[in-house]
Amino acid sequence: QVQLVESGGGSVQSGGSLRLSCAASGYYFASMAWFRQAPGKEREGVAAISSGGADTYYADSVKGRFTISRDNAKNTLYLQMNSLKPEDTAMYYCAAVRFRYSMPSAQALGAASYNYWGQGTQVTVSS
């Protein structure tokens, strides 16, 4: 059974840190990414990573603050989020795709590139 299960969300104050995890099962996924969606807003790509981890992509709004990584031995994706801001408040989703081992940045941060999704984990940042 294919599953992507996120964890690590929570409530923090502005400037704080959180580490999200996404445990994948069922397949080895080539490219993986984190997306987020705030109430009343469209889902946006936050960070993406290629199969071997050599290529990473970030939304401009999180560059220098967030770091995406993966442990292929554990089939787990991570998102380290530092210097969190209230505008980072959203539901965060893990996404994955098989057989696409690397993509251009615009595709890597586009929701249409992924066909497996987790249920999401809530991140709330208070000022």
Encoded tokens for 86: 């209230």
Contact 28, 20 (CB under 8 A): no
pLDDT tens per residue across span 13-69? 999 999 999 999 998 999 999 999 999 999 999 999 999 899 999 999 999 999 999
Cβ burial of 73 (10 Å; 0-12, 13-18, 19+) is exposed
Cα–chain center distance at 111? 11
Beta bridge partners of 49: 32, 56
pLDDT tens per residue across span 36-50? 999 999 999 999 999
